[in-house]
Amino acid sequence: MSARGLLQSLGWPVATGLLIALLTLLAFPELRGPNGAPDPTHPAITSYADAVDRAAPAVVSIYTRKIQEQQRHPLADHPFYRRFFPERPQQQRAQSALGSGVIVDPRGYLLTNEHVINGADEIRVLLYDGRETRARLVGTDPESDLAVLKIDLEDLTVIDVPEPTQARVGDIVLAIGNPFGVGQTVTQGILSATGRYNLNLSEYENFLQTDAAVNVGNSGGALVDIHGQLLGINTAILGEGNTSVGVSFAIPADSAMRALREIIEHGRVVRGWLGLEVRPLSQDQASALAMNSTQGVVVTAVYSGSPAEQAGLTPGDILTHIDDESVGNGRRGMNQIAATAPGSEVTLRILRNGEPIELETVIGERPLPVST
The separation between CA 365 and the C-alpha centre of its own chain, rounded to angstroms, equals: 24
Residue 19 per-residue DSSP state: H
Q: Which residues are catalytic?
A: 115, 145, 219
DSSP codes, 109-131: EEEE-HHHHTT-SEEEEE-TTS-
- Integer angstrom CA distances of residue 145 from 115, 117, 233, 235, 328: 6, 10, 10, 8, 23
User: In a 3-state reduction of DSSP, which class is residue 53?
Assistant: helix
Angle at 38 between CA 37 and CA 40, to 5 degrees: 130
Query: Coil, strand, or helix at residue 190?
Result: strand
CA distance 241 to 254: 30
Residues 298-312 as b or e (16 or more Cβ within 10 Å = b): bbeebeeebbbbbbe
Listed residue (205, 204, 223) closest to 214, CA to CA: 223
Nearest to 159 by CA among 14, 260, 299: 260
Rounded CA-CA distance 291/286 in Å is: 5
Exposure class string for 1-15: b at 16+ Cβ within 10 A, else e? eeeeeeeeeeeeeee
